[in-house]
Amino acid sequence: MSGRLLDGTAIASAIRADVARDVAGLVSSGVTPGLAVVIVGDDPASQVYVASKGKACLEAGMHSETIRLPATTTEAELLAQVDRLNADPKIHGFLVQLPLPKHINSERILLRIDPAKDVDGFHPMNVGRLSVGDSTAFRPATPFGVQQMLLRSGIETKGAHAVIIGRSNIVGKPMASLLVQDTPGGNATVTICHSRSRDLPALARMADILVVAIGRPEFVTREMVRPGAVVVDVGINRVVDPAAAKGYRIVGDVAFAPVREVASWITPVPGGVGKMTIAMLLMNTLQAARQQSGR
Ligand code: NAD
């Protein structure tokens, strides 16, 4: 058997087209959804992400602002930017790109963001709303993207045993929150595994749907996957490869080729979950604009 590909590129572009259509409807009613991204310092990877977010926003017909601040920005100055964006009626959603320079307390910045504009869904108010099943909560983009991949590929989560490896606040925990809700793309039985889990391979083999988000190159081997399971690989890892033009290549947390032989569906890396994140950020910005405008 060779697992079918869960094609993040195709699914993300379908979602972006849906968002653009809905944005056009809102614009014609007088509301242009606006997203701002704040970046502090010059981390090259963050600069690339931020540029892609701005471009995607414009392509969807949204208003986009990128606020670039020097690495020497103080916490008080960044808090003042957050206050300004909280009050700006053109901006329906915004995020502060992480990681922040060490002298800034990320927690304090996050807590200052108005939960109604927190399109990353990391504010504790949104985390709580998501966990109680409030549909107005913003869902963190990466796990929300995984759920959309499953839904749009017709993969049934209801009654399935979903095993998540990784318990981070941005992927593992919100993934569990989404999969356990009584909604489409939910109603799964969820197990979360982490670095202290006993006999992780045995737990992984119990999965109908295995979601892996740990940041360990090719950690999940064929022996850890039940034949017929759906395998979602969130990991993005650089590994040295002298044969590659850049001297490295990108691999996931799953050993793709051997696992594909037993899986029913599998996400490639790259071209899988990573492609979904920006599409879901746009969807959250559209949701924010709708919620704030009542349209
Ligand atoms: P993190 O470092 O915050 O958390 C990793 C989690 O994995 C921790 O909960 C830890 O307990 C668990 N873990 C680590 N080693 C383990 C082991 N040997 N066995 C079991 N559990 C283990 O990571 P994160 O931010 O959740 O990201 C995870 C991966 O997903 C990274 O490769 C990251 O680059 C990638 N990522 C991708 C996207 C995307 O858009 N596709 C978004 C976010 C993160």
Q: What is the mean pLDDT of each run of 10 residues along the chain (295 residues)?
A: 94 98 98 98 92 96 97 98 98 97 97 98 98 97 98 98 98 98 98 98 98 98 98 97 95 98 98 97 98 96
CA 1 from centre of chain: 29
**CB 53 near ligand 1, within 6 Å:** no
> Which residue's C-alpha comes closest to atom 4 of ligand 1?
168
The response to whether residue 195 sits with its C-beta less than 6 Å from ligand 1 reads yes
Q: What is the pLDDT of residue 161?
A: 98
Assess whether the region 30-114 and the region 141-275 belong to the same CATH fold: yes
Find out whether the beta carbon of 267 lies less than 6 Å from any atom of ligand 1.
Answer: no
The pair of three-digit structure tokens given for residue 190, joined into one six-digit string = 């969820």
From 97, 147, 181, 287, active-site residue: 97
The active-site residue out of 22, 114, 120, 253 is 120
Distance CA 179, CA 185 (A): 6
Residue with tokens 């919620």: 291
- What does pTM read for this prediction? 0.97
13 vs 40: CA distance, rounded Å: 29
Is the CB of 205 inside a 6 Å radius of any atom of ligand 1?
no
Q: Is 30-114 assigned to CATH 3.30.70.2860?
A: no
Give the per-residue pLDDT at 32.
98
Distance of CA 85 to the CA centre of its chain: 22
Q: Which pair of tokens denotes residue 99?
A: 């990681």
Domain boundaries, the chain: 30-114, 141-275
Q: Which helix (H) or strand (E) holds 4?
A: strand 4-5
Task: Please work out whether the CB of residue 142 comes within 6 Å of at least one atom of ligand 1.
Answer: yes
* Token pair recorded at residue 173: 């925990």
Superfamily of domain 141-275: NAD(P)-binding Rossmann-like Domain (3.40.50.720)
Q: What tokens appear for 9 in the block? A: 């590129």
pLDDT of residue 117: 98
**In the annotation, is 97 catalytic?**
yes
| 288 CA to centre of ligand 1 in angstroms | 27
Residue with CA nearest ligand 1 atom 35: 235
Give the Cβ contact number of residue 150 at 10 Å: 26
Residues in the chain, overall count:
295
Tell me what pLDDT residue 103 has. Answer: 97
Q: Is 53 a known active-site residue?
A: yes
- Distance of CA 33 from the midpoint of ligand 1 (Å): 31
d(CA 47, CA 40): 10
pLDDT of residue 70: 97
Measured in Å, residue 212 CA sits from the centre of ligand 1 at 8
114 included as an active-site residue: no
Mutate to test the pocket of ligand 1, among 6, 163, 177, 195 (most ligand atoms within 8 A of CB): 195
Residues 6 or more apart whose CB falls under 8 angstroms from that of 251 comprise 217, 218, 235, 237, 239, 269
Considering only CA atoms, which residue is closest to atom 9 of ligand 1?
167
How many angstroms is it from 214 CA to the middle of ligand 1?
3
Residue 272 near ligand 1, beta carbon < 6 Å: no
